[in-house]
Each structure stands twice: as C-alpha cells, then as structure tokens.
Amino acid sequence: MKNTLTIVFALLISHTQAQYMYPDQEVAALVNSKELVVQLLPESSGVEKALNKVLRETFQEHWPSKRVKFMFPKGIKSLLKSKTQDYAILTQTESLGKQIKSLPAYANGSMEQWILGASRDATEAQKDALANFNYDKIQLEYHEHQLSVFDGKREKIATVITFANGYLSKHDYVFLCQQLRHLLKNAAAGVPNEDFWNVEENIKALRKTKYSLLEDYFKEEEALEIDRSLVNLYTFVPFQAYQKIIVEKTPGRSYPKIIFSFLHGKFMWVMVRSIDGRILSINSCNNYKFTGSYAADEMIRSGDVYKSMDDSIQILFNKYR
C-alpha cells in the first residue's frame, strides 16, 4: 500500500480545522452509497486476532448501513489495484502489527486479554484483565485509517482518522466509527466546514457534558490544579469506566483522547462527546512531537483542562497554521 502521508498532509493543510480532514460533499455522498470494506490486521499473533474481533464487532454494531465486509491486507491491495467502484475502502497502517509487538504488555501476554475485555462475549478472565488495566506509560505511535473511494479510475480520499497510541481496544474502534459517520453525514448533507468545526457551538455543547477524565492521565496531586470553576463539570474515572463510557455512548459525558494533529505537527488531546463522537475541543498535549514512550500522567497538564472551554484558545488551535 502506498504511503499517503505527504498527500494527506497537503489535503489537510487546505482546511482550517486541526482535527480531521473534512470530506468533500460529492466524495462523502459517494462513500455513503457504497458498501464499506474494512481492512483487518494480518493475524500473525493473538493480539492481532483480538483486535480484528473487536473491530468486526464495532462496525457490525455501529456502521449505519450494516453493509460492511472485512478483508486482510492482500485482499485490500487487490481491490485498490483493480480501482473498483463497487466499494468504499477503509485501510489501516500496515506497520501497526509491528508496533504492537514492540509493547512490553505484548511480551507478558496481557494485551490480548484486556483487548477482549470489552468484547460482547468476553470471558471472566478477560473482563478482569480489563478492570485491572491502567496506563503506566503511553507508547505514542502514529498510525492511521484512511477512507477512500474510486470515482472512475481516480481514487478520492474522504478522510483520514489518526491514532496516537499502540494500546488499541474497542473504545478506539467506536471512536473511529463515530468519526467516520459524523464527518460523512455532515459533509454529504452540505454542512460547511466552518459550521461543522464551529468553536462557539462546540463549547456550548461541551458545557452541557461532564468530563470523564481518565485518571491514568493525571497525577493525584495535580487534580487540585484544575480550575475551580470546573469542579462540578468533571470526574476522574479508571480505565474500565472510561472505556465503558465510550463503548456504551453514555449521554451527557465527554472524554479526553490523544491524537496526532497534522496542522500542529504534534500530538494533541481532544475532548470528545461520548454519545456521538463529536470532537468539541482540541488542546495542547505537553508539546510531544515524536513517537516514543512517555509517562501517561504527564501527557495532559491538569492546569490546561479549563482551556478546552476557552473560546479564544480554541479559535487559535482550530485556525492554527
């Protein structure tokens, strides 16, 4: 699969939003008219099999048309080579499997268990693994899911959803599915880019939610640094509750997620409305620009949480060049 990073960067830079590439209306409508084909990992390990299982489950549950097929990389490459007009195609970074195998949790066998802990038919051992999971360090690794469709013989990119962590699980795939649905629905309906990423409306929506802050992201003593005016607007939650809020699309909640922003050229954190995956703010993530292993509780500065509701700061982040 060809490396699309340069092409995607050029496309993203033409838009003003700092989150994800907003699809063109005609491309979004074309994607919505097609059956979706989703690329799986090659299943050279139990972890890849576990991720494929929750990926299948998520799209079977959340994709609006339910018209979804799943293919391994070899089949996806054949589809792209044929320039088929029968499907919209969602690919993913092929190096993801190698990144996973480099993680310490892979070596001790714990990853497969906790990945499956959120599966609809999880065993008690897997549920326990999920309940006991917590981030010590986060392995920042850029990888992407690219959605494209062929119009004639020309491949058109609808959008690209990036991930920043190697510890993928079901909540990541729910986030992926929600982003795609939300972007495609609005773009196909002709909602202008500037209305979709409207800062004032986003902050109004954000103030109607309660922040579910993953406790692994914050040192205990730093909780006192969060602006006192937000005291009734947030709660710290363990990983199992954090994932449950996302997977079950709990109303009235929002949560932080770390992504890579092309426009900023570094990792950022966003506040996401859990019920529909709407990104409501984007915030600085301690200035991390490169992949590597970092302490989880240093990723988000507690004192910066209030900035997600600051109009002027959000306008700066959304219009950043």
Regarding whether 169 and 86 lie in a shared domain, the answer is: yes
Structure tokens at 306: 């209030």
The number of distinct structural domains making up the chain is: 2
Q: How much of the chain, in percent, has pLDDT values that exceed 90?
A: 52
Regarding whether 245 and 173 lie in a shared domain, the answer is: no
pLDDT value of position 58: 95
> What pLDDT, in 10s, does the model give residues 245-272?
999 999 999 999 998 887 777 888 999 9
- Examine the fold and report which residue of 191, 217, 250 is the final residue of a domain before the chain moves on: 191
**Host domain of residue 57:** 5-191
3-state SS of the chain is CCCCHHHHHHHHHCCCCCCCCCCCHHHHHHHHCCEEEEECCCCCCHHHHHHHHHHHHHHHHHCCCCCEEEECHHHHHHHHHHCCCCEEEEEECCCHHHHHHCCHHHHCCHHHHHHHHHCCCCCHHHHHHHHCCCCCEEEEEEEEEEEEEEECCEEEEEEEEEEEECCCCHHHHHHHHHHHHHHHHHHHCCCCHHHHCCHHHHHHHHCCCEEEEEHHHCCHHHHHHCCHHHCCCEEEECHHHHHHHHHCCCCCEEEEEEEEECCCCEEEEEEEECCCCCEEEEEECCCCCCCEEEEHHHCCCHHHHHHHHCHHHHHHHHHCC
Regarding whether 307 and 215 lie in a shared domain, the answer is: yes
Regarding whether 225 and 121 lie in a shared domain, the answer is: no
Regarding whether 101 and 68 lie in a shared domain, the answer is: yes
Residue 72 above 60 pLDDT? yes
Regarding whether 178 and 129 lie in a shared domain, the answer is: yes
Beta pairing class for 35-39 and 68-71? parallel
Residue 15 above 70 pLDDT? no
Residue 85 above 50 pLDDT? yes
pLDDT value of position 10: 44
- Examine the fold and report which residue of 191, 218, 240 is the final residue of a domain before the chain moves on: 191
What are the phi and psi torsion angles at 36 (to 5°)?
A: -95, 135
Regarding whether 289 and 170 lie in a shared domain, the answer is: no
Regarding whether 182 and 291 lie in a shared domain, the answer is: no
Residue 65 above 50 pLDDT? yes
- Examine the fold and report which residue of 191, 221, 244 is the final residue of a domain before the chain moves on: 191
pLDDT value of position 74: 94
What are the phi and psi torsion angles at 264 (to 5°)?
A: -90, -20
Residue 141 above 90 pLDDT? no
- Residue 273 CB neighbour total at 10 angstroms: 22
Question: Higher model confidence: residue 63 or residue 301?
Answer: 63
pLDDT value of position 127: 93
